[in-house]
Amino acid sequence: MEADYVIVGAGSAGCAMAYRLGEAGHSVVVIEYGGTDAGPFIQMPAALSYPMNMSRYDWGYRTEPEPHLGNRRLATPRGKVIGGSSSINGMVYVRGHARDFDHWAEMGADGWSYADVLPYFRRMEHWHPGPHGGDDAWRGNDGPLHVSRGPRRNPLFHAFVEAGAQAGYPITLDYNGEQQEGFGPMEQTVWRGRRWSAANAYLRPAQKRFAVTVMRGLATRVVFDSEGEGGGSDAAKCRATGVEIRRGRRTEVVRARREVILTASSINSPKLLMLSGIGPAEELRALGIDPLADRPGVGRNLQDHLEVYIQMASSKPITLYRHWNLVSKALIGAQWLASRTGLGASNQFESAAFIRSKAGVEYPDIQYHFLPIAVRYDGKAAAEGHGFQAHTGPMRSPSRGAVTLRSSDPAEPPRIAFNYMSHPQDWEDFRTCIRLTREIFAQPAFAPYIKHEIQPGAALQSDEELDDFIREHAESAYHPCGTCRMGRADDPEAVVDPEGRVIGVSGLRVADSSVFPRIPNGNLNAPSIMVGEKIADHVLGRAPLAAENARPWINPAWQTSQR
């Protein structure tokens, strides 16, 4: 096989990249190890807990024992399927805060400020605000990615927003528009009752309209040819010309006439770079890999969002627990299969909030997902019958981890160590999250619904007791990023330049969440797709979309007030 561009990974950014390159008239081969995304477990929004726990769709990665979380090994799901993690995620749509992208630019990602990326968010979106409205001027209305809102029929969704207002927080009609801070409706990548993954939005249309082909296989390394004299010893003269893949017992090379682009996730993109000789030179030599480009930042700067579930027992039988039985699940599934309507047509995350933890914090650093059932994210153990919960955690942890190779065998999973909760600020921030959440649940709006606190439990009040709870119960929100950090070419820790080009070689780019300099607020699917959209323009040599000078809302009292 040969094409103008070879993309590794049919995930969020890879699908967007394939569409834009194909649209420009180029031939594209997308290499994907996983199989089809057909079937109700992926396409039905309410079934979201199934695909992320099925080995058919998930790489099944787990962290190393995390020393600050009681040596627990946490799940790190990554999509192993057409659509990548956009086919197994919770479908929550969050762009991130404007200041997140301004910070990227300050860290050396020139051209990635909010003014620069807003046009790409708008280009990719087809926004359906529903009856609650929002900020039309800030949103897109003709892009491939449909973004909608759940029906919010359960009174608990409204109680959560009302409680936020009673506690003194602002209301926002659109956290993806001018004002992220506040309580309001949550958005989801669902369209006409179906998961609107990157595969549905971008890849399938690209395959139908353009010269875009999907090829199944395990990418094992990037293949380089030397340019001119100097041979392989001169990394700067080495150009990526293809990707070696395993298909069954055969090994083949898929050739790229123009460029190779890695969009394999923040776990697999650095793994593939290191297997190809790009990474910390001494570590590669120790594994018998000949270093091609000594880039110590490859695999480093690993970040994530941790969260805990604050669960309340409900005094009224109005939660989704009434459907937590085989008969009700079968009826919901049958209705969805017949008409794409009913409870199966939403991810059930329909109210949200972003707040600041204390005065002096300029923009939100705490996120809430509200869910009208008390249940784990992986779908296990509905707690104590009727209940509801808020997922909460800090947005900007100072802790950093790393993805490293166990060996030079491409079939072996990498070593993943997030180093969660390794900074004292993490513990302070998490205790603040719990106490602020308890205050919200104590507002009059929840008085008709709350029986008692399930988790952590009202008896746990001291710093030490809350720390023990966090150590035992904190879970990943499944937002890994940062392992091929974008920065200026002279930054020794940067892996790619602001156009996604891998520093030290030619013909090779990375375009997924691994290039994030720092984790943005909220869920990562939207900014990952945006990266694919924007770097596609860089690949094509186009001038970036014109910057927009929209001024996002910042709480005018942020220096002196927490809310």
> CA geometry: angle at 556 spanning 439 and 116, to 5°?
105
Which residue, chain included where needed, has tokens 């649209």?
23
pLDDT tens across 98-148, in order? 999 999 999 999 999 999 999 999 999 999 988 777 778 899 999 999 999
3-state secondary structure 307-328: EEEEEEEECCCCCHHHHCCHHH
Give the pLDDT score at 520: 98
**3-state class of 351 per DSSP?**
strand
pLDDT tens across 486-502, in order? 999 999 999 999 999 99
* Exposure string over 453-481, b if 16+ CB within 10 A, otherwise e: bbbbeeeeeeeeebeebbbeebbbbbbbb
Instruction: Report the alpha-carbon distance of residue 297 to residue 496 in Å, rounded.
Output: 10
In a domain, 190, yes or no: no
Strands 28-32 and 212-216 turn out to be parallel
Exposed / middle / buried, residue 525 (Cβ in 10 Å: 0-12, 13-18, 19+)? buried
Q: What is the pTM of this model?
A: 0.96
Q: Are residues 9 and 157 in the same domain?
A: no
Strands 278-279 and 250-262 turn out to be unpaired
Q: Are residues 485 and 469 in the same domain?
A: no
Instruction: Report the alpha-carbon distance of residue 563 to residue 558 in Å, rounded.
Output: 7
Q: Are residues 75 and 221 in the same domain?
A: yes
Q: Tell me, what amino acid is at 155? A: P
- For the chain, how are helix, strand and coil distributed in percent, rounded to 5? 30, 25, 45
81 carries a ligand binding annotation: yes
> Does residue 340 have a pLDDT over 70?
yes
Instruction: Report the alpha-carbon distance of residue 391 to residue 375 in Å, rounded.
Output: 11
Q: Are residues 252 and 200 in the same domain?
A: yes
90 carries a ligand binding annotation: yes
Which residue, chain included where needed, has tokens 């569409």?
19
* Exposure string over 287-317, b if 16+ CB within 10 A, otherwise e: eebebbbbbebbbbbbbbbbbbbbbbbbeee
pLDDT tens across 412-421, in order? 999 999 999 9
Task: Give 325 or 149, the one with higher predicted confidence.
Answer: 149
**3-state class of 325 per DSSP?**
coil
92 carries a ligand binding annotation: yes
Sign of CA dihedral 115, 116, 117, 120: positive
Residue-level length of the chain: 563
91 carries a ligand binding annotation: yes
Task: Name the domain boundary from 473, 490, 509.
Answer: 473
How far apart, in Å, are the Cα atoms of 108 and each of 25, 498, 515, 529? 32, 8, 12, 21
> Does residue 335 have a pLDDT over 90?
yes
DSSP character string of 500-536: SBBTTSBSEEE-SGGG-SSPPSS-SHHHHHHHHHHHH
In a domain, 415, yes or no: no
**3-state class of 540 per DSSP?**
coil
> Does residue 357 have a pLDDT over 70?
yes
Please give the torsion angle defined by the CA atoms of residues 495, 268, 349 and 438, in that order, rounded to the nearest 10 degrees.
Answer: -70
Q: Are residues 311 and 361 in the same domain?
A: yes
% of the chain exceeding 90 in pLDDT: 91
Instruction: Report the alpha-carbon distance of residue 495 to residue 515 in Å, rounded.
Output: 8
Give the pLDDT score at 306: 98
Give the pLDDT score at 232: 42
DSSP character string of 231-278: GGG-GGGEEEEEEEEEETTEEEEEEEEEEEEE-SHHHHHHHHHHHTTE
Contact 64, 402 (CB under 8 A): no
pLDDT tens across 293-307, in order? 999 999 999 999 999
In a domain, 337, yes or no: yes
Q: Are residues 163 and 75 in the same domain?
A: no
In a domain, 560, yes or no: no
In a domain, 557, yes or no: no
> Does residue 151 have a pLDDT over 70?
yes
Q: Are residues 361 and 221 in the same domain?
A: no
Contact 132, 173 (CB under 8 A): yes
In a domain, 273, yes or no: yes
**3-state class of 464 per DSSP?**
helix
In a domain, 66, yes or no: yes
Contact 553, 178 (CB under 8 A): yes
**3-state class of 309 per DSSP?**
strand
Contact 427, 294 (CB under 8 A): no
Q: Take residue 540 and report the two structure tokens written for it.
A: 């094509």
What is the separation of C-alpha 520 from the centre of its chain, rounded to a whole number of angstroms? Answer: 9
User: How many CB atoms within 10 Å of residue 359?
Assistant: 13
Domain span including residue 169: 151-185+306-394+422-473
Q: Take residue 401 and report the two structure tokens written for it.
A: 């981890």
Number of domains in the chain: 2
Q: Are residues 233 and 283 in the same domain?
A: yes
- The residues, ordered by sequence, that sit 6+ positions from 497 with a Cβ below 8 Å of its Cβ are 486, 487, 488, 489, 503
Q: Are residues 354 and 458 in the same domain?
A: yes
What is the separation of C-alpha 211 from the centre of its chain, rounded to a whole number of angstroms? Answer: 28
Exposed / middle / buried, residue 257 (Cβ in 10 Å: 0-12, 13-18, 19+)? middle
In a domain, 257, yes or no: yes
Q: Are residues 339 and 461 in the same domain?
A: yes
- HSE of 209, CA atoms in CB hemisphere, 13 A: 14
Give the pLDDT score at 379: 58
The pLDDT-based confidence of 468 (bands split at 50, 70, 90) is very high
Contact 299, 404 (CB under 8 A): yes
Q: Are residues 322 and 288 in the same domain?
A: no
Average per-residue pLDDT for the chain: 95
pLDDT tens across 55-83, in order? 999 999 999 999 999 999 999 999 999 99
Contact 331, 509 (CB under 8 A): no
Task: Give 108 or 382, the one with higher predicted confidence.
Answer: 108
The residues annotated as belonging to the active site are 479
Q: Are residues 223 and 345 in the same domain?
A: no
pLDDT tens across 522-554, in order? 999 999 999 999 999 999 999 999 999 889 999
Contact 188, 92 (CB under 8 A): yes
Instruction: Report the alpha-carbon distance of residue 82 to residue 32 in Å, rounded.
Output: 7
Which residue, chain included where needed, has tokens 């691994």?
514
CATH number at residue 436: 3.30.410.40
CATH number at residue 295: 3.50.50.60
User: How many CB atoms within 10 Å of residue 341?
Assistant: 13
- The residues, ordered by sequence, that sit 6+ positions from 114 with a Cβ below 8 Å of its Cβ are 98, 99, 100, 101, 102, 550, 552
Q: Tell me, what amino acid is at 318? A: I
